[in-house]
Amino acid sequence: MSRTYDVIVIGLGGMGSAAAHHLSARGARVLGLEKFGPVHNRGSSHGGSRITRQSYFEDPAYVPLLLRAYELYEDLERGTGREVAVLSGGVMLGRPDSRTVSGSLRSARKWDLAHEMLDAGEIRRRFPTLTPRDDEVALYEEKAGLLRPEQTVAAHLQLATRQGADLRFEEPMSRWEPHGDGVRVYTAEGAYTAGQLVICPGAWAPRLLTDLGVAFTIERQVMYWFEPTGGVGPFLPESHPIYIWEDAAGVQVYGFPAIDGPGRGAKVAFFRKGEVTTPETIDRTVHEHEVRAMAEQVARCVPALPGTFLKAATCMYSNTADEHFVIARHPRHPGSTTVACGFSGHGFKFVPVVGEILADLALTGTTAHPIGLFDPARLATAPARGART
| 355 known member of a binding site | no
Q: Is 141 annotated as a binding-site member?
A: no
Residue 49 marked ligand-binding: no
Query: CA–CA separation, 176 vs 336, rounded Å?
Result: 12
Which residues, 6+ apart, have CB-to-CB distance to 180 below 8 Å?
193
Work out the widest C-alpha separation in the chain, in whole angstroms. Answer: 69
H or E segment at 364? helix 351-364
Cβ(136)–Cβ(154) below 8 Å: no
- Asked if residue 309 belongs to a known ligand binding site, the reply is no
Rounded to whole angstroms, the Cα distance separating 44 from 277 reads 14
Q: Is 102 annotated as a binding residue?
A: no
Is residue 145 marked as binding?
no
Cα end-to-end span (Å), the chain: 44
The C-alpha angle with vertex 45 and arms to 44 and 47, in degrees rounded to 5, equals 90
> With left for phi above 0 and alpha for psi between -120 and 50, is residue 69 left, alpha or beta?
alpha
65 is in an annotated binding site: no
What residue type is assigned to position 167 of the chain?
Answer: L
Is 21 one of the annotated binding-site residues?
yes
Whole-number Å distance between alpha carbons of 185 and 355: 21
CB atoms within 10 A of CB 37: 11
| Residue 22 marked in a binding site | yes
Q: What is the DSSP string of 258-279?
A: --S-TTS-EEEEEES--EEE-T
Residue 29, annotated ligand binder? yes
Asked if residue 20 belongs to a known ligand binding site, the reply is yes
* 31 annotated among ligand-binding-site residues: yes
Is 321 annotated as ligand-binding?
no
Q: Binding residue per annotation — 33? A: yes
Is 358 a known ligand-binding residue?
no
Do 129 and 298 touch, CB atoms closer than 8 A?
Answer: no
Known binder of ligand: residue 333? no
Residue 250 annotated in ligand binding: no
Q: Are strands 30-33 and 3-10 parallel, antiparallel or unpaired?
A: parallel
Which residues does residue 90 pair with via DSSP β-bridges, in sequence order?
Answer: 141, 242
Is 23 among the annotated ligand-binding positions?
Answer: yes
> Strand pairing partners for 140?
91, 116
CB 5 within 8 A of CB 176: no
| 209 belongs to an annotated ligand binding site | no
Residues 6+ apart with CB under 8 A from 50: 146, 147, 148, 149, 348, 349
Any known ligand binding at 273?
Answer: no
Say if residue 123 carries a ligand binding annotation.
no
Binding site annotation covers 17?
yes
| Residue 276 among known ligand-binding residues | no
Binding site residues for FAD, as ranges?
Answer: 6-36
Binding site residues, as ranges?
Answer: 6-36
